[in-house]
């Protein structure tokens, strides 16, 4: 199967340190600004681009050829083959979440039995710009050596300002607008949606629980629940002081809590720990982590810019997992109380499912 993208326009990526990369605009033609980050995954771009944690970011894919297996069909309301509890099967949310995509080579011809359109066509549909013909190896080396930085894609004579997403409330742009209920299980889990990936919800529902999915600024006292999952999401965790205060109340009540990615950082802040920004973050499907005080290692899927400072953990808390590449924290756990969180994604999608047992571990504490 082959599709031809719209005519190309010359565009350029400008980094805040003055580096400029010229390439071809594809997808939706517009200038955009954000934080430039890279992902080393070799596949899984439909899931990656729909991950709400990428809100505010310009994503660089290091794999040289992107788009070769096209894009599967989005959610059809009455098509059970394409949905699960009303959730799109092939994506992590209902739209592309990244600000822009940067790749070395765009595959205009695609082939897969589920594909219905090209990558460029999909980007056009959601008005997301792409930039191809870039030396992504050189760009990634700059981001690794100098750290993640702000950048902007400009087309023709456009001249736009840089934008720092770390100062904004990005979660408000990706959370659900109101409370939703899914499933009919006896255990009632409140899922705090900070930009929740679909696969977190499906992993809970497959374990026969009732999920009460609520916005991140919801009044938790309005609902009855047996445990709480705080989801992944975009941005700087210290921005969300109201959410941290709400989670502190959950800890005082000793409600079982599981935090994932942003949820991990929020839980740590609520416990009294501190977070910091990593030099270039972790974004891939092959991040190795080691469980604390054991020889068990796992390969994990990750997407985050910030990390928890293990040395700042208060008494009663300890590291649960550590990253084997840079030693940064990948999870925390309370010694006696039912509180735990992980920096990686146990739901994967894309990536290995080595750590899906995290959900079972959490639900054992939910009575």
Burial 144-166 (b: 16+ CB within 10 A, else e): eeeebbbbbbbbeeeeeeebebb
What angle (nearest 5°) sits at the alpha carbon of residue 89, between those of residues 88 and 91? 70
Query: What's the CA gap between 292 and 172, in Å, rounded?
Result: 34
Query: What's the CA gap between 332 and 345, in Å, rounded?
Result: 14
Interstrand relation of 339-342 and 329-334 (parallel, antiparallel or unpaired): antiparallel
Active-site residue numbers? 261, 345, 347
Query: What's the CA gap between 190 and 196, in Å, rounded?
Result: 12
What tokens were used for 106?
A: 């765009």
* Residue 136 and residue 61 in contact, taking contact as beta carbons nearer than 8 Å: yes
* Residue 232 and residue 254 in contact, taking contact as beta carbons nearer than 8 Å: no
What angle, rounded to 10 degrees, do the helices at 262-271 and 241-252 form?
70
Q: What is the dihedral of CA 87, 92, 98, 103, to 10 degrees?
A: -130
What tokens were used for 45?
A: 């771009």
Total count of residues recorded for the chain? 367
Question: What order of strands is seen across the sheet that includes strand 329-334?
Answer: 180-182, 210-215, 188-193, 227-230, 257-260, 339-342, 329-334, 317-323, 274-291, 297-309
| φ, ψ of residue 310 in degrees (nearest 5) | -60, -35
Three-state DSSP class for residue 357: helix
Query: What's the CA gap between 356 and 80, in Å, rounded?
Result: 25
DSSP letter (8 states) at residue 5: P
* Residue 306 and residue 277 in contact, taking contact as beta carbons nearer than 8 Å: yes
């Amino acid at each position: 199967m082959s599709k031809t993208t719209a005519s190309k326009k010359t565009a350029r990526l400008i980094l805040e340190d003055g580096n400029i990369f010229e390439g071809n605009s594809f997808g939706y033609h517009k200038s955009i600004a954000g934080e430039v980050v890279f992902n080393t995954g070799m596949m899984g771009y439909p899931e990656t681009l729909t991950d709400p944690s990428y809100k505010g970011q310009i994503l660089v894919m290091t794999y040289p050829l992107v788009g070769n297996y096209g894009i599967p069909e989005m959610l059809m309301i009455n098509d059970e083959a394409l949905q699960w509890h009303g959730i799109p099967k092939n994506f992590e949310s209902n739209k592309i979440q990244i600000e822009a995509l940067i790749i070395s080579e765009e595959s205009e011809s695609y082939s897969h039995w589920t594909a219905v359109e090209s990558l460029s066509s999909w980007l056009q549909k959601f008005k997301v710009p792409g930039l191809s013909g870039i030396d992504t190896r050189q760009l990634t080396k700059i981001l690794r050596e100098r750290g993640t930085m702000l950048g902007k894609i400009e087309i023709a004579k456009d001249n736009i300002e840089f934008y720092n997403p770390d100062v904004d409330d990005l979660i408000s742009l990706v959370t659900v607008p109101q409370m939703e209920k899914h499933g009919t299980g006896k255990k009632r889990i409140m899922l705090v949606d900070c930009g929740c990936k679909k696969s977190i919800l499906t992993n809970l529902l497959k374990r026969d629980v009732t999920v009460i999915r609520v916005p991140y600024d919801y009044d938790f006292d309005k609902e009855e629940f047996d445990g709480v999952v705080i989801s992944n999401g975009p941005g700087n965790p210290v921005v969300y002081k109201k959410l941290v205060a709400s989670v502190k109340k959950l800890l005082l009540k000793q409600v079982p809590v599981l935090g994932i990615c942003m949820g991990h950082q929020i839980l740590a802040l609520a416990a009294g720990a501190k977070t910091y920004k990593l030099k270039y973050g972790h974004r891939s499907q092959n991040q190795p982590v080691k469980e604390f005080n054991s020889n068990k290692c796992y390969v994990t899927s990750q997407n985050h810019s910030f990390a928890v400072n293990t040395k700042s953990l208060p008494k009663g808390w300890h590291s649960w997992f550590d990253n084997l590449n840079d030693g940064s924290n990948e999870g925390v756990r309370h010694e006696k109380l039912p509180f735990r969180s992980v920096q990686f994604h146990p739901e994967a999608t894309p990536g290995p499912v080595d750590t899906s047992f995290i959900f079972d571990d959490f639900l054992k504490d939910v009575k």
